[in-house]
């Protein structure tokens, strides 16, 4: 249930609100009574530019700002463009939080990434382990840029009393995801590869790594619910994981998606490609204890919905 009248008469800005997670956050806000929602578009506000940040805050005058905008992608994109992933995410986030504090924004919700966790984090990942080592190298520039928002949120809360919270969503998937094979994450990439291979009658599908790493996935609508619940109920200075608390190996994931799309060929694992972090599984207790969030979508059901969406929106999903 929504907090009673929490969102009524509140001005809310959602950066990245036209994107994958952001669009679902906007829908959740509307369903919970928010009527004054501002979604800045990049063509109007390039958040890497400080003057655009200042103009955004002057135009929107938010009571609550949810920062969901990010330059993000899979391992390949992170390896090809580490400088962009570092600079753009840092410069979107740090000046935005600073100016939000100066402008008197009542609450700032910063979305981080589990790419910030150290390479060899004991599983399940607990928030207190966030600083116990360097992140997995292919995602480190991105992960560290986003992690600075946690440092900033805690510092601004301590010095200025600024109400900034920091959430760590796990790998997301669902309708409206990015299916561009150059930049996509693993689930949309596998869905597209297997559907196309089935149509062509391919005997094999090439896949990165050896299939051994594990990943945890959170359905995008569940993630949006977690973000909105945190915005309503969480006032703490500690980071909070948002996840499902369940892991699956990439090999098992590939077999599951192949079965769901009806691909019956072989997998050709390319072990010259990186695996990424060996395991990812979050401890999700803090979110449950602090703002009552638990993921509600069974994994196979979420995958079916994602595949269905891709089949219905394929032209726009692949950009052609």
Q: What is the pLDDT of residues 27-51, one digit of tens each?
A: 999 999 999 999 999 999 999 999 9
Q: Measured between alpha carbons, how far is 147 from 274 in angstroms, rounded to an integer? A: 23
pLDDT of residue 1: 46
Q: CB–CB of 128/237 below 8 Å?
A: no
Report pLDDT for 308: 98
Q: What is the pLDDT of residue 51?
A: 98
Whether pLDDT at 78 is above 90: no
Q: Is 234 a catalytic residue?
A: no
What is residue 172's predicted lDDT score, i.e. its pLDDT?
Answer: 96
Q: What is the mean pLDDT of residues 205-234?
A: 96
- Which pLDDT belongs to residue 319? 60
- What domains appear along the chain, each with residue ranges and CATH number? 11-175+216-246+280-297 (3.40.50.720)
Work out the average pLDDT over 60-73: 94
Predicted confidence at residue 320, as pLDDT, reads 45
Model confidence at 317, in pLDDT bands (50, 70, 90)?
Answer: confident
d(CA 77, CA 100): 30
Q: Quote the pTM value.
A: 0.94
Sign of CA dihedral 119, 243, 252, 82: negative
Segment 112-127 mean pLDDT: 93
Cβ atoms of 13 and 65 within 8 Å: the answer is yes
pLDDT in tens, 140-182: 999 999 999 999 999 999 999 999 999 999 999 999 999 988 8
Is the distance from CB of 167 to CB of 226 less than 8 angstroms? yes
Q: Which residue has the higher pLDDT, 119 or 45?
A: 45
| Rounded CA separation 34/9 (Å) | 7
pLDDT reported for residue 149: 98
Q: What is the pLDDT of residue 183?
A: 78
Q: Which of 45, 142, 219, 310 is catalytic?
A: 142
Q: Which has the closest alpha carbon to 70: 107, 20, 139, 118?
A: 20
pLDDT of 72 strictly over 90:
no
């Amino acid at each position: 249930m929504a907090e009673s009248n929490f969102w009524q008469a509140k001005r809310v800005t959602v950066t990245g609100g036209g994107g994958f997670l952001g669009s679902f956050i906007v829908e959740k806000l509307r369903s919970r009574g928010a009527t004054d929602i501002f979604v800045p578009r990049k063509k109007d506000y390039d958040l890497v530019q400080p003057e655009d940040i200042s103009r955004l805050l002057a135009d929107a005058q938010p009571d609550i700002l949810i920062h969901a905008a990010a330059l993000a992608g899979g391992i390949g994109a992170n390896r090809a463009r580490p400088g962009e992933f570092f600079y753009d995410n840092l410069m979107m986030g740090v000046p935005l939080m600073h100016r939000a504090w100066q402008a008197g924004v009542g609450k700032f919700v910063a979305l981080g990434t589990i790419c910030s966790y150290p390479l060899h984090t004991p599983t399940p990942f607990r928030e207190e382990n966030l600083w116990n080592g360097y992140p997995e190298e292919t995602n480190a520039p991105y992960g560290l840029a986003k992690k600075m928002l946690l440092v900033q949120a805690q510092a601004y809360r301590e010095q200025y009393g600024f109400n900034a919270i920091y959430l760590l969503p796990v790998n997301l998937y669902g309708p409206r995801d990015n299916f561009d094979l150059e930049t996509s994450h693993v689930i949309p990439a596998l869905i597209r590869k297997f559907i196309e291979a089935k149509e062509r009658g391919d005997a094999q599908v090439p896949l990165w790594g050896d299939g051994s790493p594990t990943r945890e996935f959170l359905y995008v609508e569940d993630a949006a619910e977690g973000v909105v619940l945190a915005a309503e109920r969480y006032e703490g200075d500690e980071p909070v994981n948002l996840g499902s608390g369940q892991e699956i190996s990439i090999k098992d994931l590939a077999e599951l998606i192949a079965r769901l799309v009806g691909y019956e060929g072989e997998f050709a694992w390319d072990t010259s490609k990186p695996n990424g972090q060996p395991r990812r599984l979050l401890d999700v207790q803090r979110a449950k204890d602090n703002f009552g969030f638990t993921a509600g979508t069974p994994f196979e059901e979420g995958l079916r919905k994602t595949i269905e969406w891709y089949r219905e929106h394929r032209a726009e999903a692949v950009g052609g």
